[in-house]
Chain A
Amino acid sequence: MSSQRSAEARAVIEAVTDDLLSRAHRGVIVDSPPGAGKSTLVVELAGRLAATGERVMIVAQTNEQVDDLVARLAAAHPEVILGRLTAGDYEVPERLAPLRGPALAFSSKLPELAPASIVLATAAKWALVKEGEFPWAILDEAYQMRSDGLLAVAPRFADGTALFVGDPGQLDPFATVETDAWAGSPWDPSDSAVAVVRAHNPDLPVHRLPYSWRLPSTAAPLVAKAFYPFTPFDAGSDADDRSLLLGSAPAQAGPAGQSAQPGEADGSGIDQALELAAAEGWAWYGLPAAHTIRTDAEAVEACAALADRLVQREAAAVDRAAGYQRTVTPDRIAIGTAHRDQAAAVRAALARSDRASRGLTEVTVDTANRLQGREYDVTIVLHPLSGRRDATAFHLETGRLCVLLSRHRHACIVVGRAGIADLLDAHPHAEPVRLGVAVKFPDGWAAHQAVLAHLGAS
């Protein structure tokens, strides 16, 4: 089964390669659902394009993404000379320092990277390069790139062929000012790079990676149904490939020698949620309905307590297809929130001395924006609408929920207050309809309702 899926995914990569090498089109677009092997595709195609003897430029959105690609390219194509174009104040990260040498150069000036056949940099850095042209360009995370960013970068491959790779279901780029004046026009500089390229070049071939290798078979159908209703995908793994095993349940360990603190989540509910997540891949940890401030103390404590209990029970993640069985250590857990202050509050709850002694400060706690592109064994999500009185466009954004619910390999637990479904019903769409703006499906209401229904939450 799994080998057949690999073959299908491989066929997509071959088709993309053929489209690019034929130079029949100026660009090729590859849509990738979460964890569908986007980076693998970029690394492989970069190698194949470089093998033509022509130079390749790679554009990613953050330094971390670029450094990841550098590490993977160096491992996959040790014979190819890489150039990492950096900002002036960039510091070479520890993991890349040993690779530095004849096959990997770092510089803030493009001419100094002349020997490199693949040059990598962030979009912001490429935007400052004034000269030099590349026959091949790969733009990673192209759905997160803004149209004006692409406009600054595109002269570097004006006569070349470009590959745009990205996940259409994630967070859209945003501007810090009102951009309504341009809404719906093909020159809207705040639109995504892929949207503008397709508006001006409607005939570009679009490929789609068919399987998510990250999401387990419990998660892929829900994520596909809620967020990608017209471009379905499936899990690359089988139902019996993955499991999450929980150790015996030791007595609830409160903070050093005390009984449960006021406001601390009820222990049995926590264990039930973990067991449900282990069995089903999803769990909803519900709190009673209430309107709260953003840093809802009970919800924050529940997130921390779930992570804590997961570590205490020495959960083990098993993937038979990938051939691993590992303990879910704190660094394999992520807690996702909508706002930075919520993340800070969760971090503070994890830093409580008894939890810190269990290593819980190693848990990644971040907002959806910063969790994009990352992967964990188990994720705990503070629902963006939990405890809210209103459903704003920010909190409804499908990309936000999609990012939060598609970071895990084994299980995801969602923490939220009751009443979210009612909140959705009470807040109809109030944004003006603009001419020329493609209607986005699914909208936040549909996606949220689909998720809530699947989780059995109210």
Chain B
Amino acid sequence: MSTLTALARARAAHAGRAVPIAAVRHVHLTDRPFVLIPLMQAGEAAAPLAVMAGTDRSAPHLLVVGQPRNRDQRFAFLTDFAKLLIPYLDELSTHTETVEATKNHEEWQRCTDAPQLILPNPGGIDALRLLGRSARFRTVDGPYPVDPLVPLLGRHLTWFAEDRAPMPGSSVCLALTTALAQHWATGQSALEDQHLPALLSWIDPPPGMDGASAALLAEDPDRVPPAGPTTDPAFDTGVLAPLVRAQEEARALDDLRAVAKAEEELRAALAAQMQPTWETAWRAVDVLRGLPAAASDELRWQVDRGRFTDFVTGIAEGVPPQPKRPSAVSAARRLADLESAQQSYDRSQAVDDPLILARYRVGGEAFAGRITFVDAERQEFKGKRAWPRPLVLLHTLDEVILRPGAKVASPARVSQTARLRAVRPHPTAAGFEVELELQSGMGRGKTPEGGSLPTVGEERCYATFLAEQRGTRPELPDVDQTPWTHGGPPWPYVPRAEEQAEDWH
């Protein structure tokens, strides 16, 4: 947590209301998000209990598993879930635009929009990840066949929850608590912020109430049911268990009317548990929509659209499902992808948002001030050629702890790196005078291009992380060339029928 965020939390605690820590919205919101609230059976890994989902706020779909421990019912539920989700995805993948060929890529078609799953919290995303893992290797023939939609749903859920959700800057699978906490600081702990109703109470309390007391009320599970994926233990024992048992007994007796009645009661009980979260989730989306989108938002969403296109194309072309275990090479590639996405997300947030940039200023990695002098004529001779090396003086009130030699760049002109030559107390005023030598981003000529230099009197911020070079991708071997240090080439995976065999009922 940065010093500024700590300060914002202290202020929020003092005022009893959340304090904004971002000026713009750094996550994308589509016009038609698919809000999804999963509930899981307590004590079972990947046993779904219910989902409430849909794109229409006024008409949520509710899917329920009568007996979560019954795997036939579980996969019937997943089939229904697929029938709900996959049409939404299909619809989005039909509209494409042409992306012109570049040096590295030939012309291709990209979807004009991508899907967006919105879940209450990271626990919900993890539940989807487990469901995806349990579903994507099921087969449509063999010992325990499932509907063909089940493995397809598994691959989609894996893509959302495992491939894209951890990718910095991606918005196709969002957890609301994470997105809200990224933009507001509350007076409660980060752990308490994982409770969506409480977090939203801090940010957007009901009329006549302050955030702190509204959050306290929201913590009462009798008043506000938890946002899942785990259920309230009192609800489990007091309501859920008797209803599931009644439904099972009715089935055992083959009493169809009793089964229908029991199922109806179960649905009603679960609907009552989930409806408040459904409302809260949409309200949280509204609150996020209230923030203006960041300048880089469109570019980031374009990446998401591209990845979505790649994924649906891959499915159409029959690529195998995401493997159970990565190879050493694919894990290393994935880490490189994640780290470069993190770096560019950090950069674009700081460039787009002065409140984020301020964190770096407080941490000593950036400084801001007024340009007091520019020597545009200065040159440096290297070999036979003279290179423009303009000198700039900047007066700042920030405490500059960077040392001479540090490379910095300004959000105003990210492509222009400058080398810090000296920092000294300002001769006549408070604060520091920083001497910078501009090194690039001035065109190819012997003198800087017009408009490429800062001007005297201009306010500028310079930061070290903006000048950091984006790492060149290391050359990784192909999977079948994995060296002995990493175990040699892995054995190719061959699915076997025995893998479907498990203690089924």
B474 touches A177 (CB 8 A): no
B483 touches A348 (CB 8 A): no
Stretch of A189-197, A246-254, A311-319 lying at the B interface? A189-197
Whether A200 contacts B335 in the complex (CB less than 8 A), given A185-B325, A187-B328, comes out as no
Q: Chain A residues near B403 (CB, 8 Å)? A: 347
A127 touches B475 (CB 8 A): yes
A154 touches B332 (CB 8 A): no
B339 touches A175 (CB 8 A): yes
B484 touches A151 (CB 8 A): no
Indicate if A334 sits at the interface (CB-CB under 8 A): no
Indicate if A188 sits at the interface (CB-CB under 8 A): yes
Q: Chain B residues near A150 (CB, 8 Å)? A: 485-486
Q: Chain B residues near A179 (CB, 8 Å)? A: 335
Q: Chain A residues near B477 (CB, 8 Å)? A: 151-152, 154-155
Whether A190 contacts B335 in the complex (CB less than 8 A), given A152-B474, A200-B484, comes out as yes
Residue of B nearest to A185 (CB): B325
What is the bound-complex CA distance between A177 and B335, given in angstroms?
A: 8
Indicate if B472 sits at the interface (CB-CB under 8 A): yes
Indicate if B445 sits at the interface (CB-CB under 8 A): no
Indicate if A26 sits at the interface (CB-CB under 8 A): yes
What is the bound-complex CA distance between A273 and B54, given in angstroms?
A: 69
Indicate if A243 sits at the interface (CB-CB under 8 A): no
Q: Chain A residues near B306 (CB, 8 Å)? A: none
Q: Chain B residues near A186 (CB, 8 Å)? A: 328, 487
Q: Chain A residues near B363 (CB, 8 Å)? A: 341
Q: Chain B residues near A182 (CB, 8 Å)? A: 326, 331, 335
What is the bound-complex CA distance between A6 and B485, given in angstroms?
A: 32
Q: Chain B residues near A189 (CB, 8 Å)? A: 328, 331-332, 334-335
Indicate if B329 sits at the interface (CB-CB under 8 A): yes
Indicate if B260 sits at the interface (CB-CB under 8 A): no
What is the bound-complex CA distance between A181 and B166, given in angstroms?
A: 10
Residue of B nearest to A158 (CB): B483
What is the bound-complex CA distance between A347 and B166, given in angstroms?
A: 39
Contact of A187 among B326, B336, B401 (CB under 8 A): B326
Binary interface encoding of chain A residues 99-133 relative to chain B, with 1 for a CB under 8 A from any of its CBs, else 0: 00000000000000000000000001001111000
What is the bound-complex CA distance between A175 and B378, given in angstroms?
A: 40
Q: How many residues of B contact A (CB 8 A)?
A: 36
What is the bound-complex CA distance between A148 and B342, given in angstroms?
A: 17
Q: Chain B residues near A152 (CB, 8 Å)? A: 332, 474-477
Indicate if B343 sits at the interface (CB-CB under 8 A): yes
What is the bound-complex CA distance between A427 and B241, given in angstroms?
A: 38
B401 touches A188 (CB 8 A): no
B475 touches A130 (CB 8 A): yes
A128 touches B475 (CB 8 A): yes
Indicate if B441 sits at the interface (CB-CB under 8 A): no
Contact of A340 among B334, B364, B484 (CB under 8 A): B364
Binary interface encoding of chain B residues 338-367 relative to chain A, with 1 for a CB under 8 A from any of its CBs, else 0: 110011000000000000000000011000
Q: Chain A residues near B488 (CB, 8 Å)? A: 200
Interchain nearest-CB distance for B360 vs A (Å): 12
Q: Chain A residues near B483 (CB, 8 Å)? A: 151, 154-155, 158
Indicate if B168 sits at the interface (CB-CB under 8 A): yes
A341 touches B401 (CB 8 A): yes
Q: Chain A residues near B334 (CB, 8 Å)? A: 189
Interchain nearest-CB distance for B206 vs A (Å): 34
Interchain nearest-CB distance for B378 vs A (Å): 20
Residue of B nearest to A343 (CB): B401
Residue of B nearest to A344 (CB): B401
What is the bound-complex CA distance between A128 and B342, given in angstroms?
A: 22
Contact of A200 among B168, B327, B471, B487 (CB under 8 A): B487
B485 touches A151 (CB 8 A): yes
Indicate if B481 sits at the interface (CB-CB under 8 A): yes
What is the bound-complex CA distance between A199 and B484, given in angstroms?
A: 11
Contact of B342 among A26, A147, A177 (CB under 8 A): A177
Indicate if A201 sits at the interface (CB-CB under 8 A): yes
Binary interface encoding of chain B residues 1-21 relative to chain A, with 1 for a CB under 8 A from any of its CBs, else 0: 001000000000000000000
Indicate if A162 sits at the interface (CB-CB under 8 A): yes
B338 touches A151 (CB 8 A): no
Contact of B168 among A27, A127, A177, A201 (CB under 8 A): A177
Q: Chain B residues near A129 (CB, 8 Å)? A: 475
Q: Chain A residues near B339 (CB, 8 Å)? A: 175-177
Interchain nearest-CB distance for A25 vs B (Å): 11
A151 touches B325 (CB 8 A): no
B335 touches A175 (CB 8 A): yes
Interchain nearest-CB distance for A164 vs B (Å): 9
A197 touches B336 (CB 8 A): no
What is the bound-complex CA distance between A124 and B485, given in angstroms?
A: 18
B486 touches A200 (CB 8 A): yes
Binary interface encoding of chain A residues 280-321 relative to chain B, with 1 for a CB under 8 A from any of its CBs, else 0: 000000000000010000000000000000000000000000
Residue of B nearest to A197 (CB): B485
What is the bound-complex CA distance between A381 and B357, given in angstroms?
A: 31
B335 touches A148 (CB 8 A): yes
What is the bound-complex CA distance between A124 and B472, given in angstroms?
A: 9
What is the bound-complex CA distance between A127 and B168, given in angstroms?
A: 25
Binary interface encoding of chain B residues 155-167 relative to chain A, with 1 for a CB under 8 A from any of its CBs, else 0: 0000000100010
Indicate if A149 sits at the interface (CB-CB under 8 A): yes
What is the bound-complex CA distance between A187 and B342, given in angstroms?
A: 21
What is the bound-complex CA distance between A124 and B332, given in angstroms?
A: 14
Indicate if A422 sits at the interface (CB-CB under 8 A): no
A151 touches B475 (CB 8 A): no
Taking CB atoms and an 8 Å cut-off, the chain B residues in 448-505 that contact chain A are 471-472, 474-477, 481-488
What is the bound-complex CA distance between A43 and B94, given in angstroms?
A: 63
Interchain nearest-CB distance for B73 vs A (Å): 30
What is the bound-complex CA distance between A152 and B481, given in angstroms?
A: 11
Whether A196 contacts B475 in the complex (CB less than 8 A), given A178-B166, A179-B335, A189-B328, comes out as no
A187 touches B331 (CB 8 A): yes
Residue of A nearest to B336 (CB): A148
A155 touches B486 (CB 8 A): no
Interchain nearest-CB distance for B26 vs A (Å): 17
Residue of B nearest to A188 (CB): B331
What is the bound-complex CA distance between A375 and B162, given in angstroms?
A: 45
B487 touches A177 (CB 8 A): no
What is the bound-complex CA distance between A178 and B334, given in angstroms?
A: 12
Q: Chain A residues near B481 (CB, 8 Å)? A: 155, 158
4 closest A-B pairs by beta carbon, nearest first, are A344-B401, A127-B474, A148-B332, A154-B483
Q: List 19 A-B contacts (CB under 8 A).
A: A151-B329, A151-B483, A151-B486, A152-B474, A154-B486, A158-B484, A162-B485, A176-B342, A177-B339, A178-B166, A182-B335, A190-B335, A193-B485, A196-B328, A200-B484, A200-B487, A293-B3, A340-B401, A348-B401
9 new A-B contacts at CB < 8 Å, known A187-B327, A187-B486, A197-B485: A130-B475, A151-B477, A151-B483, A155-B481, A155-B483, A181-B166, A186-B328, A199-B487, A200-B487
